[in-house]
Amino acid sequence: MPVCSYLVIPERGATEACAERLSALPGCEVVRAENRDVLLLVTETAGPAEERALRDALASIPGIRSLVLTFGELDTETAGRPPWP
């Protein structure tokens, strides 16, 4: 269950639209700054494949000037007895 966070800097005038588009994606929570045009995005996905798919989706959202990965934890579940090759 990977958890990541991003600092999102929208293009001028696109903050509201960006926030709506991001919030519509599964596993995405958006926090808007009270006094700046900047968003915080926290994502939670089911696994590494879903995480990669979400990143692709984020990259295609219009109106984002900059998307900075600020946190990434991919190992919230530990493995069991390692498989024999």
Partner 1 sequence: MRTDRRTFVKRLALASAAGAAASLMPGVSFGEEVARAIEGLSQPVWRKTPCRFCGVGCGLLVAIENGRAVAVRGDPDSPVNGGLACVKGYHSVQMLYGRDRITRAMVRRNGRLVEVPMDEALDLVAQRMRETIERYGKDAVAMYGSGQWTIPAGYVASKFFKGGIGTNNLEANARLCMSSAVSGFMTSFGLDEPMGCYEDIDHADVFVLWGANMAEMHPVLFSRILEQRERRRAVTIVDLATRTTRTSYAADRSLIFTPQSDLAIANAICHEIVKRGWVNREFVDRYVAFKRGKTGIGYGLEDDFRFTEEAVDATWDEYVRFLEDYTPERVERISGVPAREIRWLASLYGDPSRKVMSLWCMGVNQHTRGTWMNNLIYNIHLLTGKIASPGNSPFSLTGQPSACGTVREVGTLTNRLPKGEVTNEEDRRLAAEIWGVPVERIDPRPTHHTVSMFRALDRGEIRFLWIQVTNPMVTMPNLNRYRSAAQKEGRFIVVSEVYPTPTTDIADVVLPSALWIEQEGMFGNSERRTQHFEQMVRPPGDAMSDAWQMIEVARRMGLGELFPWRREEHVAEIWKEYIRFHDTPEHRMAPYEELKARRGVMWPYVDGRETKWRYNTKYDPAADPARGEFDFYGHPDHRAWIWLRPYEAPPEWPDEEYPFWLSTGRVLEHWHTGSLTRRIPTLHRAVPRAYVEINRQDAEELGIRNGEMVRIISRRGSMAAEARIDYRAQPPRGQVFVPFFDESMLVNELTLDAYCPISGQPDYKKCAVRIERMGMTLGGGPAR
Segment contacting partner 1 by CB under 8 A, of 12-20, 27-35, 52-60? 27-35
How many Å separate Cα 56 from the centre of its chain? 10
Separation of alpha carbons 14 and 21, rounded Å = 11
Residues in 34-63 that interact with partner 1 by CB under 8 A:
34-36, 38, 40-42, 44
Kind and range of the H or E run holding 19: helix 15-24
The distance of closest approach from Cβ of residue 14 to partner 1 in the complex, given in angstroms and rounded to an integer, is: 17
Partners of residue 44 on adjacent β-strands: 3
Residue 73, SS3 per DSSP: strand
By CB under 8 A, residue 33 contacts partner 1:
yes
Note the residues at the interface with partner 1 (CB under 8 A). Answer: 1, 3-7, 29, 31-36, 38, 40-42, 44, 68, 70-71, 73-82, 84-85
